[in-house]
Structure 1
Amino acid sequence: MNNICEKAVLYAAGGWPADEKAAFEMHLKTCASCRAEVALLNKTQEALNPPAAPSAVVENLFAKTTRKKAPFWAVWKTALAGTAVLGVGIVFLLAALHPDRSAFDATEVVAYMSEHLDEDYQNFSSDLELFEEDF
């Protein structure tokens, strides 16, 4: 075995410039031990590379792990619908709690004013006199 036979590992790794590679390939034609060593190194490298997965397995895995981005409205439609229902509920609740201002009939208002008009006028008159005395 000569000095060039020791470089079989470098040749199998593929790290040589073109001129040295050509020279070693010429040596391989004449040296059976180097051919055997390079063949063993190539088989070892092939054994270390994992085999490719079947395309059906890859596609199935890709389909399970790939998520498409949902549109904005699809993500938020439940929250928006809930908010709308809550808003309508609040409006109805406030309407139920708010006193009805049309509960007084116009005749009732006129009757109340005519009953209490003299009393209200007297109170106003006395308040006005007290106010004028202060000034």
Structure 2
Amino acid sequence: MKELFYKHDDESFIRKRKDKEELINWTNHLEFIINELNLFLKIEKRLLNKTEVNKTINDLRNQNAIVLKNLYRYDISLNNSIECDTVDCDTFYLSTHEKNRQEYLNFVEKVHLFKMNFYRMILD
């Protein structure tokens, strides 16, 4: 496992590195959700064949694309955060990170709720 932090790293650098690693995890998870939703579409067509479920899955796919696009944009902007040398700049990136975290978590919660409902429909 590669070292993420060293004793000589300052707090700002550690936070930026941590934010970057967290962002990578979020995008990897959303990329996995793309595949998962595609499989749900296939299952829906074979087992349920319900228009409203199909629409929900496609809505989630669209929302996933939007969240993923926003995170990719944020990833690009993180490169500029390395050059921050003021508290205002650090605060801006910190609040942007928290906004993106909340957007990601809200979407993942929607997917979890959908999955639970989907499994219930299959089992009923």
Tell me which structure has the larger Cα radius of gyration: 1
TM range (shorter): under 0.3
Higher relative CO (Cα under 8 Å, sequence separation at least 6) belongs to 2
Relative to total residues, which structure has the larger helix share, 1 or 2? 2
